[in-house]
Amino acid sequence: MRNIVHRHLGKMVAGTAIAVAGTAVMVAVTLPGTAGADDNGTRAGQSAPQAAGTAGAAGAGEAAAGGRAVAPGVVEAAPAEGQRGEGRDPLTDDELRRAEKIALSRQLFRSSESVDGDRGPQPLGVDLAEPEADEAGRPDAPRRADVTFYDYRDDTLVTRTVDLGTGKVVATGTQHGVQPPLSRAEKAEAAGLLIADPLGSGLKADYKDATGKALTSPDQLQLSGAVYRAAPGAQPAVLDQCGEHRCVRLFPKIKNGPWVDARQLVIDLSARKVARLDR
């Protein structure tokens, strides 16, 4: 794996250099006042010296300002966020906290399990719920929030709809085989399992090469990841349940360093196992 990783790292570093070069070109093109300028600081087709052009620009600026220096701009502070939004406004921070607290009933907490094996389901997200058909366009339509959890005890996606006005759960739905995007906690847990597994030796070796330090914690990496679903013949048997189980392909990046290619490795968070794809 280590040779694969290093070969990929070279591609990623080269890609980054190209991206930086592209950015530099974009900046050169879009900076105000530089479009069409030649090497002497004059616009194409003009022969005026740079000093004259500069003086002309300064004079124009003074004239536009009525001979006075232009006052620096002032950035106004963002308005204070209220506890409750209105209509289809995004959920406020207070509404997000309230919705999750209301949705997580004592019964759900006691009967479910999070990604690290603790009691309680794994929080995934809180979103403003869509209005009912007869509520569309009504200014007084109830504001509701859909709160989603993943229960690792039996691989169930739980969605609870909270009426933010009454503070009550008005609907509960459960689904199997549905895999929404991963939370930050799930990606961190997947990285921890990979670091602790023998298949993570290549990742740890590359981290050591890049930093001179040992990789011992997910906190040392920047983590992106995607849900992996099993496909016929595309993975070892240990990963055949991915899709029913919650499985992850990680894209780790060394902080202030390169990306590491770990695409061949899949972490089954439900079974807490790591496996390498056959191809």
pLDDT tens-digit series, residues 154-194: 999 999 999 999 999 999 999 999 999 999 999 999 999 99
- Contact (CB, 8 A) for 25 and 35: no
Distance of CA 31 to the CA centre of its chain: 30
Q: State which H helix or E strand residue 26 sits in.
A: helix 2-30
Over residues 83-105, mean pLDDT: 90
**Please, are residues 251 and 231 in contact by the beta-carbon 8 Å criterion?**
no
Q: Residue 211's pLDDT is what?
A: 95
* Secondary structure, 3-state, 119-147: ECCEEEEEEECCCCHHHCCCCCCCCEEEE
Q: pLDDT tens digits for 269-279? A: 999 999 999 76
Cα–Cα distance measured from residue 40 to residue 241, given in angstroms and rounded to the nearest whole number: 66
Hey, CA dihedral for 174, 176, 179, 182, is it positive or negative? positive
Alpha helices by DSSP H, listed for 65-105, are: 93-103
Q: Closest by alpha carbon to 5, among 264, 222, 278, 277? A: 264
Residue 63 DSSP SS3: helix
Helix, strand, or coil here: 45?
A: coil
> Across all residues in the chain, what is the average pLDDT?
80
| Residue with token string 């004592």 | 106
Q: What is the tens place of the pLDDT at every residue in 229-272?
A: 998 878 899 999 999 999 999 999 999 899 999 999 999 999 99
pTM over 0.95: no
Please, are residues 162 and 122 in contact by the beta-carbon 8 Å criterion?
no
**Residue 120 confidence (pLDDT) above 60:** yes
Q: Which residues pair with 242 in a beta bridge?
A: 245
Sort 275 into a burial class: Cβ within 10 Å, 0-12 / 13-18 / 19+. buried
Residue 224: strand pairing partners: 251
Rounded Cα gap, residues 90 and 164, in angstroms = 13
